Structure 1
């Protein structure tokens, strides 16, 4: 993003905050407050461009206002802010919570979602009765004439707000998937940090196929969404006392609280701190998705008065037993796992030989020819954005399936490091191929256990094969020290000519496709190795998506 585009995004941000048409003088004053030295004449120049693109419109002599198209542009154009905003939004909600659990009055944080039939409410009631929710207090609001029902439920962030009002500072760390065996919480299998992501972590895990809440209720085994916090160790007894009082009034969902400095459910806890796991407030909604119900989930979107909520049931029979505090292996974070593979990349750019990191996804052998045709067509239609290399591999245990290996973008980090250039994977993202291309979602590689691109594919967020409108493809952001820029450009150009999908090499302090890297570094945007796999998935072929799987020799790969 150029400096001029950045200024226009800031102008759109100012207009979006106004409730009436705004003139160039007010905009110029607001820009100066933000550190932009832009006079009224320069503002009018930028406004003319925004008008021409349909992002703003003049309202008589009163000034300009932002259009719906401008609001959409603003949402996409501020993705570099959004990766910090998610965590800040929750902190804001925690601060605004003023619920007094003694007299049961005040504001609480809620999730408001929409369901589309009465049966969904009955299913949700079963979830509340199982105790797999923060609270049975909800609000039902029937909207429209098509059977739509807005369901407001209590968000677990309310508990953080209550603790803060009692002088206990909780630190929101992760949202993830928690494994249950024999009705006991065992360990987190996947987590995403609340920092440096544009997607709320539990929203990332909310699609069908990732949770098995109904199995937990019926069989005692499965996966549920849960959050993880850290709290000061000295607050442990006071926290437990507050939790016990909250349980008595119908606010719960606490799965486990660790001893000071003890790891919990596979998540490390620093010395002097305690860990606390809380059931995801959206658990009842995720259960609906498991059975194919249509539902629109909005997480921690607003504050409401607790008195507007009423219990959906008074029959709570918790299905979960206490966790066994057994010593478990710490959950392996993605970047830690990846560094070890990156270190082993030994591809020689001159000889075009050596090991690269591969994603290996599995498909039925009966559908292999169709899958390869889709991959080739996708590459032929857009060779700039699709990596053409693949390798067929045997499935480790199923003779009816076959693996399709593709080049993982982390191979590029390994190649640069092998040549003396530090390259750090920064984000996995969803890139919209507009003009200019812009990231519309980003998840940091640091603080997650799952490859970001797998999240986007599991939520069907790509449109790699779309014929109408801008395509949405997978891409990654690398961060490289500025001092090595010339050397890096030389190697990246060679890799691009080979077919490694280098989309953009940024300049220092440049917003590259709307992504941001640290000062004294520059960003490099590369194609996601799963784009051709995503194309197969979009065409309705069942494929088990795997990422960052193993090392394979580049010279053994075929080309589409």
Structure 2
């Protein structure tokens, strides 16, 4: 993507944040704040191009506003930049928080979601009364005649903002899922780094089935959304004092505060730092979803005046106990867990024999014929993007289930490495098959404990089999040192001819399908073996999706 296109994306981003039509002077000023030295005349030139493309619309002499098409362009454009933008957005929210806990005035960060009935309000109230939220302060706003309500709750990022205003820098590190046993927080089971994703971490884990909040309320056992940040150790006592004062006025949700340099909840705390875990502000919304109620969840979307919120209840009875200083096994991120598997790949390109890494997903045995039919149809419809290899595997404990093994894209890294080429899996992504194809979401393999493709499937973000609009499939982005490009191209072309899905071999410094490799590297885009599994899921067949499961001999696999 050119520098000019980059500027236009930033102009669209500025317009998307404005409520009124905006002129070139304000846009030029905002661009300057973002590091773009563009005068008003140059801005007007770029705006004319955006008008012609239908991304913006001129409103008389008042300026421009972004169109629906422009919002779609903004959502898809510069996705490699969005990976950094998510973290920057949280930093911006932290900076804009000016809430004063002494006067109880100022702006706070909120999550706003849409619910559709009074039962959902009762569920939210129940979770807040159980102290599994940041605050009982909410705003309920009826927006339709059919029971629709916008519900605004306080986001834990507000606490980061308050700490910053008191001179304590708080660094959001991870959002994830926290395991509760006997009402005690035990350890994080899943995490995504705020700096390694285009999808907000807690949004990634907000899919139905990820949490079991009601089980925590009723039985003291389950999984809740939570996040984790670091502060300097020297600020620990001051931070605790502030957190206690916030708690007294109804802003809390702090689950645990570590000692300096002491690991907590399965996470390492660096030298000189303190870890703080806070319940996810979306926890009440996830509970609504668990109870099969319709809800649209949005995360840390905006800043609101605290005065617009009021307590939904005054009866708070915490269900969680204080954590015990019990050592927990440290949680490992996906890539660190899979390097050993990658190194064991020994597929011989010439003989077409050897071990590859497989995903093994499970379905009911009586659905196998239909599932294979879906897989075959999906491959025949789009052979360029679908890997045709699979293997049926018995379930280890359940005779009514059967496994479908497919080739994991990390096999390609293993094959390249086995042939002397260093290949680094960088992102798992959602690829929209426009012309050219573009990544519209990316999650780093090195910043997540869960396979990104499994997350996208859990959130029903694919459209592998659908014909309405562009298909959205699962793909991976890898980076390889430029020095080995010629050798890599030879190997990748052979693999593609065998049936491994190689979508694109990029060039140095090239933005490849909207993803970007580091300097002195080039990127390649490959398909995911979970695309056929996603197709099965889209057809309404229940699938227990598993990723990066085991080694299998390629020669034992069947072909669609």
**Which category describes the TM-score, using the shorter chain as reference length?**
over 0.9
User: Which residue number in structure 2 is paired with residue 455 of structure 1?
Assistant: 455
Note the 1:1-400 alignment, pairs <5 A. Answer: 1=1, 9=9, 12=12, 53-56=53-56, 66-400=66-400
Q: 1:126-168, CA deviations, whole angstroms, 9 ceiling, x for partnerless residues? A: 1111010111111111112222111111110111111111211
8 Å contact 1:2–1:511 — kept in the other structure?
no
Deviation at 1:51, TM superposition (A): 6.0
8 Å contact 1:170–1:230 — kept in the other structure?
yes
Check 1:39–1:385 CA distance in 2 against 1; reply closer, same or farther (3 A cut).
farther
Q: Does 1:491 align with 2:500?
A: no
Deviation at 1:446, TM superposition (A): 1.3
Where does the alignment leave 5 or more consecutive residues of structure 2 unmatched? none
8 Å contact 2:176–2:190 — kept in the other structure?
yes
TM-score by length of 1: 0.93
Check 1:343–1:79 CA distance in 2 against 1; reply closer, same or farther (3 A cut).
same
Q: 1:177-197, CA deviations, whole angstroms, 9 ceiling, x for partnerless residues? A: 001111111110000101121
> Aligned pairs, how many?
560
Q: 1:375-395, CA deviations, whole angstroms, 9 ceiling, x for partnerless residues? A: 000000000000000011111
Check 1:37–1:170 CA distance in 2 against 1; reply closer, same or farther (3 A cut).
closer
Deviation at 1:467, TM superposition (A): 1.5
CA distance in 2, matches of 1:22, 1:328: 53
Secondary structure in 2 matching 1:320: coil
Deviation at 1:20, TM superposition (A): 8.5
CA distance in 2, matches of 1:36, 1:266: 42
CA distance in 2, matches of 1:168, 1:30: 27
8 Å contact 1:77–1:514 — kept in the other structure?
yes
Choose 71-80 or 403-412, whichever is displaced more: 71-80
8 Å contact 1:163–1:239 — kept in the other structure?
yes
Measured on the aligned residues, the alpha-carbon RMSD in Å equals 2.8
CA distance in 1, matches of 2:358, 2:431: 21
Deviation at 1:70, TM superposition (A): 2.6
8 Å contact 2:357–2:407 — kept in the other structure?
yes
Deviation at 1:38, TM superposition (A): 10
Secondary structure in 2 matching 1:256: strand
Check 1:510–1:22 CA distance in 2 against 1; reply closer, same or farther (3 A cut).
farther
8 Å contact 1:2–1:510 — kept in the other structure?
no
Note the 1:519-558 alignment, pairs <5 A. Answer: 519-558=519-558
Secondary structure in 1 matching 2:525: strand
CA distance in 1, matches of 2:40, 2:273: 52
Deviation at 1:49, TM superposition (A): 7.3
8 Å contact 1:28–1:43 — kept in the other structure?
yes
8 Å contact 1:112–1:152 — kept in the other structure?
yes
8 Å contact 1:390–1:407 — kept in the other structure?
yes
Deviation at 1:39, TM superposition (A): 12
Check 1:44–1:322 CA distance in 2 against 1; reply closer, same or farther (3 A cut).
closer
8 Å contact 1:97–1:162 — kept in the other structure?
yes
Check 1:53–1:95 CA distance in 2 against 1; reply closer, same or farther (3 A cut).
closer
Moved over 3 A (4+): 1-67
Check 1:393–1:14 CA distance in 2 against 1; reply closer, same or farther (3 A cut).
same
CA distance in 2, matches of 1:35, 1:244: 39
CA distance in 2, matches of 1:88, 1:31: 15
Note the 1:431-442 alignment, pairs <5 A. Answer: 431-442=431-442
8 Å contact 1:374–1:535 — kept in the other structure?
yes
Deviation at 1:416, TM superposition (A): 0.9
Check 1:497–1:200 CA distance in 2 against 1; reply closer, same or farther (3 A cut).
same
8 Å contact 1:23–1:63 — kept in the other structure?
yes
Secondary structure in 1 matching 2:492: helix
Deviation at 1:54, TM superposition (A): 3.9
CA distance in 2, matches of 1:458, 1:226: 18
Q: Does 1:500 align with 2:500?
A: yes
TM-score by length of 2: 0.93
CA distance in 2, matches of 1:307, 1:372: 57
Choose 38-47 or 305-314, whichever is displaced more: 38-47
